[in-house]
Structure 1
Amino acid sequence: MFSPHTFLRALCALPHRGAATPAGAEAARLLQTQLADLGATVRMQAFETPKTYITIVYWLLGGVLVGLALLTVTGVAVGFVWYFVAMAWFYFNGRYSFIIKFPVQHTAHNVIGHWPARTTADDVQTVILMAHYDTAPVSLLYKTGFRTRLILLLVLMLLAAMAATLEAVGIGLPYLTYLRYGLMAYFVLQATLGTLGYWLRGYSNGASDNATGVAAALATADRLRRANLPNLAIEVVLTSAKEAGMIGAYYYVDAQKKKWKRNRTTAIHFDTLGAGLLTIVEKAGTLEPLRYQNEPTRMARKLLKTDAFRDRSQTGNGHTADFDSVWFVRNDIPVLALCAMDARGRMSPVHQASDTLDGVEPAAMETAIDLAVAVVQHMMKDK
């Protein structure tokens, strides 16, 4: 029988699991071995990605800064600013942005395990159990108020583009020129603060974010495959480059979405289960709200009212659109998103050097496994 606690310790024994790094490749091999030991057919999905979101942040802010700096040289700079602001809006609101293809690109891998249904009947249901295994750069901005800072950054980028447009046609001078210089200084400051932690401390160990989610996905798969549900096909998808912008999940969904039968496909996503109360995510998003309104989420809310889960779980909202499950929602695939939050609705310290195994409380991870299994079993009974 698979032990999520034993596997959690093995995964956290690596210093980190950064995307497209040697440690990330070692983590992928460990996941392959574990999936094979559980009887899955295992495949690797290679894709190209920046190693971290830092590359993307530098491109976005750098592009805006260059456009603003060239405004007095050529009017074309206005279009340059708007181009990078638009890419930033899409990227930070959980939509596809071409910025993810900017250099420098590296090869990372999603690790996928599959257990086919034991019947060939037409009513086979597929459940996708998903978690990202890569770890994030340490960031000072994630300690408090990250969503507020991100919204402020997007608003000021929009302001910069609008002000540049007016300045280019000679409106509002010289005040808009002063505003432009002030915004340029702010963008440099944000780029520095947002990436300084990485240059000083490197990657987090990622025990809570998201070794706990990986362990929960594997444990749920193990219990479901032994649950005698012949019409159930199980796929475990362990993605990389989530911390670069949910890129591994994007490529997985993009490759599979045309093959799925939407009325017979359900996803369950596990993310950051190391501390706090298990939380059923009902809404996420930065400036664009992303709502989880689907059958598995409704089923989970019903189960939350039962004795088995009443004191062990809650509903809540994510603070940014940084769940891999965003791509399922965008493509109308029903998905149950699970994380852990404290009483104030905050996740455990993510993107911090303190995210180690010593700080993990296993209760939320164990509850996530129980709830995910119960949701699938109830949904199979209703079919």
Structure 2
Amino acid sequence: MLTAREIFEKLSEWPHRGCGSENEMEAREALMAALTGEYGVDVTDQGFKCPRTYLPFFWMIAIGQAIVVLLSPWAPAFMLGAGVLLFFSHLLYFDWRTSPIIWWGARSVTANVSATKGSGKRLVILMAHLDSAPSSYAYRPDQVRHFKLSIYLGTFIIGLGVLIPAMGTQDVVLPHWAGWIVTLLLLGQAVVASVDFWRFGYTPGANDNLTGVAAATEVASRLWKTMPTDTEVRLVITSGEEAGMLGAQHYWRQHRDELKMRDTHVLNFDTVGFGNLSFVTESGGFTPVYYDGPLVRTAAAVTKIDKRYSHVKAAKHHVGDFDSVWFARDGFSALTIAAYDDDGLMPHIHTPDDTADHIDLAIVEDAVRFGEAVIRTLPKT
């Protein structure tokens, strides 16, 4: 049986696993080699092209809106249309929904890993993302507490790309210097979003999300060893999460018809190496995502009927979102297990400090046991 500890230690050999990088490819191949040793398990990878990070999207929005603002005096109606498209792309992205231009610039080849065993009406998917995040100024300890405020402020600045050409259609033309100030604001926020990546590159990604990969893999291995009846157990390790949860979005689109025909449950593990183990009942950006399906109800029941898990609490996630969001919004039974500090945050993530020495593997192993208990307690529907 594969253990979270050995998977974590093995994949920690790579300094990072940036989406589409050679490091990510090598780490993925090492994981697939380990999974191939599992008896009766079919292991495949499903390749796709993806942006390396979310930063190309940020720059497309910023540069596009800057052009809209500067050209508004000459073609306000046309610029208004372009500004609306860019603004709603931004809104959809930060509400963690499918955005029209997020896949533009998808040139890096990466892959999701799928390992499966069993058959039956029920399908249990254990999910986690392998790629590590770009270093981000917004996640610095002194900034992350203001994450939502920075999103709202950025959205207001992007919204000027709609307001200014809209004023132009009413023959209200701003002075040239005002347009240049807005342009500097637009480009400035893209610079702030990029500066730590330019300085430090990708993070080591020990907590976010090597811990999740290790936990999901051991849960799958435990279930494969003693299979639940009438159930297929599938491990899905995604890429492109740090570019906008694109690997999971790709998997959801490719397999949606199959998943809809079955009794499907998606249990996602993300950042389970530090703090208080929790199961997420609410996330989302501008609009909330509520997790209230069979997996959530079972997780809540397990914490009440088994004293070993009475310390696991329901939590609301306030910064970003998870791979499970596509499935939850589409009506699937979905749940993410994560861990938070006493302030409800995930320390060190998206920074160069997300290293193995900050990880408590006992929490990862606790996540494994809790995740397995949830799946084995899950009632049949």
Please state whether the residue corresponding to 1:345 is helix, strand or coil. Answer: coil
Deviation at 1:103, TM superposition (A): 2.2
Decide which moves more: 270-279 or 313-322.
Answer: 313-322
TM-score (norm: length of structure 2): 0.93
Who is 2:182 aligned against? Answer: 183
Who is 2:15 aligned against? Answer: 15
Q: In the alignment, is residue 250 of structure 1 matched against residue 249 of structure 2?
A: yes
Aligned runs of 1:208-287 on 2, under 5 Å? 208-261=207-260, 264-287=263-286
Who is 1:47 aligned against? Answer: 48
Match of 1:99 among 98, 101, 109: 101
Who is 2:355 aligned against? Answer: 356
Q: Deviations over 1:270-303 (max 9, x none)?
A: 0011211111111111111111111111111122
Deviation at 1:255, TM superposition (A): 0.7
Distance 1:32 1:222, change over 3 A: same
Please state whether the residue corresponding to 1:44 is helix, strand or coil. Answer: strand
Who is 1:346 aligned against? Answer: 345
Who is 1:79 aligned against? Answer: 81
Deviation at 1:104, TM superposition (A): 5.2
Please state whether the residue corresponding to 1:95 is helix, strand or coil. Answer: coil
Give the letter aligned to residue 322 of structure 1: D
Please state whether the residue corresponding to 1:354 is helix, strand or coil. Answer: coil
Q: Percent identity?
A: 29
1:160 touches 1:180 (CA, 8 Å); kept in 2? no
Q: Deviations over 1:302-323 (max 9, x none)?
A: 2223411112x11111124421
Q: Distance in 2 between matches of 1:211 and 1:132?
A: 8
Who is 2:330 aligned against? Answer: 331
Q: Deviations over 1:222-257 (max 9, x none)?
A: 111223423221100000011011111111011111
Who is 1:304 aligned against? Answer: 303
Give the letter aligned to residue 141 of structure 1: A
Deviation at 1:198, TM superposition (A): 0.8
Distance 1:178 1:160, change over 3 A: farther
2:280 touches 2:291 (CA, 8 Å); kept in 1? yes
Aligned residues: 374
Pairwise CA RMSD of aligned residues?
Answer: 1.8
Please state whether the residue corresponding to 2:308 is helix, strand or coil. Answer: coil
Decide which moves more: 297-306 or 257-266.
Answer: 257-266
Q: Distance in 2 between matches of 1:186 and 1:322?
A: 26
Please state whether the residue corresponding to 2:90 is helix, strand or coil. Answer: helix
Deviation at 1:165, TM superposition (A): 0.6
Deviation at 1:365, TM superposition (A): 1.6
Unmatched runs of 5 consecutive residues or more in structure 1: 118-122
Give the letter aligned to residue 188 of structure 1: L
Who is 1:120 aligned against? Answer: none
Give the letter aligned to residue 140 of structure 1: Y
Please state whether the residue corresponding to 2:336 is helix, strand or coil. Answer: strand
Q: Distance in 2 between matches of 1:2 and 1:379?
A: 23
Q: Distance in 2 between matches of 1:307 and 1:86?
A: 47
Match of 1:136 among 126, 133, 153: 133
TM-score (norm: length of structure 1): 0.93
Deviation at 1:159, TM superposition (A): 4.2
Q: Distance in 2 between matches of 1:33 and 1:104?
A: 27
Distance 1:180 1:322, change over 3 A: farther
Deviation at 1:101, TM superposition (A): 2.5
Please state whether the residue corresponding to 1:61 is helix, strand or coil. Answer: helix
2:17 touches 2:132 (CA, 8 Å); kept in 1? yes
Please state whether the residue corresponding to 2:267 is helix, strand or coil. Answer: strand
Who is 1:379 aligned against? Answer: 378
Q: Distance in 1 between matches of 2:26 and 2:272?
A: 22
Deviation at 1:108, TM superposition (A): 1.0
Who is 1:60 aligned against? Answer: 61
Q: Distance in 2 between matches of 1:369 and 1:153?
A: 38
Unmatched runs of 5 consecutive residues or more in structure 2: none
Please state whether the residue corresponding to 2:346 is helix, strand or coil. Answer: coil
Q: Distance in 1 between matches of 2:68 and 2:295?
A: 46
Please state whether the residue corresponding to 2:46 is helix, strand or coil. Answer: strand
Q: Deviations over 1:148-192 (max 9, x none)?
A: 211221233224412331134223x548x7664443222222111
Give the letter aligned to residue 164 of structure 1: P
2:36 touches 2:43 (CA, 8 Å); kept in 1? yes
Q: Distance in 2 between matches of 1:179 and 1:299?
A: 56
Give the letter aligned to residue 377 of structure 1: R
Q: Distance in 2 between matches of 1:102 and 1:261?
A: 28
Q: Deviations over 1:344-382 (max 9, x none)?
A: 1101221100001011112332222111111111115x5
Q: Distance in 1 between matches of 2:182 and 2:310?
A: 48
Deviation at 1:135, TM superposition (A): 0.6
Q: Distance in 2 between matches of 1:270 and 1:193?
A: 29
Q: In the alignment, is residue 24 of structure 1 matched against residue 21 of structure 2?
A: no
